[in-house]
Amino acid sequence: MKKILIVIHDMRIGGAQKSLLSFLQALDAAGKCSEYDIHVLPLNPTGEFLSQIPASVTVNMPDNTLRWLGQHMSRELLTKHFSLRGLIGEGLWLLRKLLGRFPRGLNLPQRVWHSWRGIIPQRRETYDVAIAYMDGTPAYYVMDKVQAEKKVLWLHSDYEKQGYDPAYDARFYRDCDAAVTVSAECLETLRRAHPEQADKLHVLENISSCMVVRAASRESAAALEFDGAQGLKLLSVGRLHPQKGMDIAVKAARCLKSQGGEFRWLIVGEGSERPMLEKMIAEYGLESQIFLLGARLNPYAYMAKCDILVQPSRIEGKSIVLDEAKMLCVPIVATRYPTVGDAITHGENGWVTDMTGEALAEGVRHLQQDERLRAEIIRNLENSPGDNAELLPRYIETML
């Protein structure tokens, strides 16, 4: 029986985490988990999806030193997970930040690994396959600290937009056995950065199950925040992070309000931009129109109740949110981020706008007012294939 290690940063609600969870659930539903000894290692063992991992999969906890990797020093680390090596690593990281002692051109994950690589211990176990299901520290950890016959790297976003230095990453892509990304656009950016490894690059779209999504969308006790809403019901789902563009959504809401539109806009997701977004909402006087709900395990019930799903992203790999909204035949307005064409054909299964609050608001108004267009988009979504569970054999072939 093959022993598999899958490394991910955490299991918070996010695209890469949902992709992994869907893969494991599809394996479990097909009775395939019993054919492998699968271990999932979240470097930061937190997140709503942690409890959703199938019982047939073993969840490994990181050792105390590994818990310190890329984390801010906290009372919990100092008391529950104290590590002298971790404390030394944190001190070196802070000193290097203060003095600027990093090679030029590295992005944050690369700087973190450059600083911590000598601190993190080698993993004792050996595996048949080790999979880094996220880029950054999970990938560097798998390549430098895990012993495995086969190593697979995942990239869920646009490599160039993430600001990676290809020269720093060259040895990782040279030494891995396969590198997987989620769309043709993402594949092209990875190929441009590492052309010499083109033969080991693969595209695997995220696995999504119509049956699971549609069943969850019917939960009557969920999405109560839409109950009693007057006017247009709008929804955005994503982390509160600059890449997801929720600030663009708030600016669009201001435009809609200034034109007298009545609406309720719910944002499902959590992240570092919450204080900034809360300040924007207060400054624009939108406290009665736009609501930050935080993370929700079941965003599908909100999708089922909304009139339009709005995707204000600046960067996406292959958006799971859009794939799932399409399964529920929800009209979509999305910004023109580089890979949006992988999910939305403008005017056929959604509406694409420029990446400004004004343009996004205009797209929402257009889709609201043009009933014929909206009906045509819904009809096209109803007639398009939604489920891609048939991808499971390709996942198994490529990774396991």
Write the pLDDT tens digit of every residue in 42-83: 999 999 899 999 999 999 999 999 999 989 889 999 999 999
Q: How far is CA 381 from CA 88, 279, 343, 398, in A?
A: 54, 37, 12, 30
- Give the three-class secondary structure for 22: helix
Q: Do 201 and 218 have their domain in common? A: no
300: containing domain: 210-382
Q: Do 94 and 202 have their domain in common? A: yes
Location of structure tokens 């600027």:
100
Q: Do 116 and 262 have their domain in common? A: no
Look at residue 385 in the predicted model and tell me its pLDDT: 67
Q: Do 351 and 225 have their domain in common? A: yes
* CB-count burial class (<10 Å; 0-12, 13-18, 19+) for 220: exposed
Look at residue 19 in the predicted model and tell me its pLDDT: 92
Q: Are 335 and 311 in contact (CB under 8 A)?
A: yes
Q: How far apart are CA 300 and CA 362, in angstroms?
A: 25
List, for residues 274-294, the tens digit of each pLDDT value. Answer: 999 999 999 999 999 999 999
Cα 67 from chain centroid (whole Å): 21
Cα 196 from chain centroid (whole Å): 27
Q: Do 248 and 201 have their domain in common? A: no
Q: Do 199 and 291 have their domain in common? A: no
Look at residue 29 in the predicted model and tell me its pLDDT: 84
Look at residue 389 in the predicted model and tell me its pLDDT: 67
Q: Do 190 and 307 have their domain in common? A: no
Q: Do 375 and 295 have their domain in common? A: yes
Look at residue 387 in the predicted model and tell me its pLDDT: 64
Q: Do 71 and 133 have their domain in common? A: yes
The total of structural domains in the chain comes to 2
Q: Do 12 and 23 have their domain in common? A: yes
Phi, psi of 213 (to 5 degrees): -65, -45
Q: Are 40 and 59 in contact (CB under 8 A)?
A: yes
Q: Do 218 and 304 have their domain in common? A: yes
Look at residue 317 in the predicted model and tell me its pLDDT: 82
* CA neighbor of 143 nearest in space, from 123, 163, 158: 123
Q: Do 227 and 150 have their domain in common? A: no
What CATH number corresponds to the domain at position 177? 3.40.50.2000
Look at residue 123 in the predicted model and tell me its pLDDT: 97
Look at residue 208 in the predicted model and tell me its pLDDT: 78
Quick count: other Cβ atoms within 10 Å of Cβ 174?
12
Residue numbers in the chain where pLDDT is lower than 70: 220, 385-387, 389
